Chain A
Amino acid sequence: MKWCAKCLYPESSAVKLSFDEKGVCSGCSVNEQKAEIDWDKRAEMLKEIVETYRSKDGSNYDCIIPVSGGKDSHYQTYYMTKKLGLKPLLVTYHGNNYLEVGEENLKNMRNVFDVDHMIFSPSVEVLKKLNRICFKLMGDMNWHAHAGIFSTPVQVAVKFNIPLIIWGEHGRLDLGGQYSLNDLVEMTARDILEHCKRGYDWDSMTDEGLKKLGRPELSEGLTARDLFCYKYPDMRDIARVGVRGLYLGNYISWDANKQTKFVIDNYNFKISEQSFDRTYRKMSNLDDMHENGIHDYLKYIKFGYGRATDHASKDIRLGIMTREEGIEMVKKYDHVKPRDLYRWLEYVGMKEEEFDRVCDTFRDPKVWRKNDKGEWEKDNMWDDKK
């Protein structure tokens, strides 16, 4: 197993990396671009684009901001309302996994910003079914969240005729350098289907869909009308409305730590007082207890690394953590089986033995092997450290 010479990402990263001759990964090299970009020019570019979408007669919202209520959501809304003077419509997909503090932050948004906020809360029964199906089908109980977050706001854009959507940073660009910061990449149906939804679309979740996939035993009786939130609009509607999704991370120099401090100081954003089981950060993913929890645990099972690697790599790149400190974080947190597992097991009605058994079917044989005692083991970056 090979690791990036600079950050902590392994070769087996979920976001495919490329490495240069020095062994530095594409995620690091793309982040290094931040220092070379003329951010004032980028801010001007954004201003110009946004002007063309501002509602001329004030009869409609100027844009949509998909929000979870988190630190990024607060910063994006601050930027669009205060710096660019827009009237956005906030759209949230509520996956029913909010931490209490996350729920408070979500409600906070329309208190501190002069915005209307639409919260889409799918049926809990449907959510439980999707949790079960997707866990067994692709080892990701949070597929509904990835699919919903990236489909619901686009549906709203089409239905309300609001073409401009402002996202935060492009996650995979930031983690692994899927694109360069010079590409000015925008939201595409293809990227969302391939990477956020892993190629599975809403129609894979119905009984018929599961039968086609050869997994009829996973059927839970879902039909098309249970899955509205997960449908990306037809390309003709996208073209008709002229829907366009921009990533704010292409136009401002994104720094999660600075931005969090800013929204805490100015906009009543609250971080978790409790630590998470699988990471040292307290400000990330307050909207979904499983994102840092069992969803991330499954990432460890599949690819051999977890949230601590993500957060530490980000902080190493931002210059606020050394690689050695990062390795300590990975040692401490990556392998932990988190407590939110028990909430989830009760939520969907599954036993831990079954959970473990399904998990094991997703272990990547290139990462994991069984030792003589029959325990799972893998290479670690600290193995060669003498």
Chain B
Amino acid sequence: MFNFRGKAYLTLMTFCIKIIFRKQINYHVFFMIAIINYKMGNLQSVGNLLEYLGEEYVITDKKEEIAGADKIILPGVGAFTEAMKNLRELDLLDILKEEVLEKKKPFLGICLGMQILAEKGYEGGECDGLGFLKGEVRHFDLKDKKLPIPHVGWNTVKPKEGSILYGNDVRERVFYFVHSYHLICKDEEDVSGYADYGGNFVASVEKGNIFATQFHPEKSQDDGIEVFKNFLAYKSA
């Protein structure tokens, strides 16, 4: 009864709201996923997949909605510096730190959304990241291998044992990547999967409630859908 997230409690709440305020609300409103809108990338793709999976979501840059959400997703395509500039201008740095580091809300960063978790990025000059993970973001250095950049297309990921995103299954999967920079982690245990493009690079990270992928699970069909489902099923300790 006193578990504020319990189904019984919420059913009672919505019933009370219906009686007192004569307003009908669905208790799913309490299980909302916030997709952060900081003007970087195709947010609707993530929304489309959540809709397909039957999840409620809101695309937002409002602090109250982020604070009220059950889980946070930070997608992103574009430049590191632009991303951080936008987050700063929208005054979202503090709320993210609070929700993710202190309240330990489940968090999923995608592509650029993973890269800015680093301490520093070097796209167009040195720039501070969110610092949620130890490490830095650098451009691929592949000239001697004659591989085109950006790294665009489907590549194989080798998951580590015990990972949550991959359902603790080390079977290789294939995901869609599109990036020119990559994250270099200082702490090896943060890494949950590697891919190979002229050498191994970090494909995904998992640290407590913080999850992130360099690839786009919302554009990776079945394997991507599975990663999303595993993230959505995760409950913070």
A/B touching: CB–CB < 8 A: no
